[in-house]
Amino acid sequence: MDRWRNKVAVVTGASSGIGAAIVKDLLENGLQVVGLARRSERVTDILKTVPPAKHGNLTALHCDVSDLRSVNKAFDTIIAKFGGIDILINNAGCLKQGQLVNMDINEIQQVLQTNVMGVVHCTQRAFKSMKERNFPGHVILINSIAGHGFKSLPGTPESNMYGPSKFAITAITEIYRQEFRGLGTKIKITSISPGAVDTEILPDNIKKLIGDTMLKPQDISSGVLYAISTLPHVQIHEMIIKPLGEMF
């Protein structure tokens, strides 16, 4: 991790759950961290959990990844302040309950805009920064086991567009790998696919059904740290992390 000390890492969806855990771990490892979130005031709460000496290494910015104008405003601010982006962790996600056959189209669109286009919006800006500086950066996509095969819980499925959006991330990961290589860069791409994680995004009825068989946000952050700590010639392309005994 020494090569990342004082480098700039951008984390989307940084206000809670997996994103907040990643921000904390990156701060503790000496990176300059920019936490992007719609609730940016909650990003600063992370400072309560890290040593005071690290407080100056966190920048919280408002950003709705589904809105290209919001993304461009945030990334313009990052470039102006730090000069570039070295690591991007696409963590922001959206899950809505309901069936595709009858739920509000706007809610379906919100899932797609956040989970798919949000990744595209942020990765374009980060990649541009890395390539212009000829920097061997790293892009992390927080995916899901839902992106590798759909298994429904008992009853009528209520994951609607979430699974397909994560299937898209699985495909996009490989597309980025080939594009990064084809464009002559040494930028790494990693997809991390967790099973059930105890976070705000997971509905209470699902938490009740699966019980204690859940991961913690810190488990996924540990996976991120492992992926970015590999030697320059090593690329962790896909990582699947499941809690022991998971039913999915």
Q: Kindly list the catalytic residues.
A: 162
Other Cβ atoms within 10 Å of 183 Cβ, number: 10
For residue 113, what are the contacts with CB-CB under 8 A and spacing of at least 6?
66
d(CA 69, CA 198): 31
Q: How many other C-beta atoms can be found within 10 angstroms of the C-beta atom of residue 95?
A: 22
Helix axes 105-112, 162-182, angle to 10 degrees: 30
Strand order in the sheet with 8-12: 58-62, 32-37, 8-12, 87-90, 138-142, 188-194, 238-241
Torsion sign, CA atoms 225, 234, 114, 170: negative
Number of H helices, E strands in the chain: 8, 7
Instruction: Provide the phi-psi class of 202: left if phi over 0, else alpha when psi is between -120 and 50, else beta.
Output: beta
Distance CA 117, CA 99 (A): 21
Structure tokens at 27: 């701060």
Q: How far is CA 15 from the centre of its chain?
A: 12
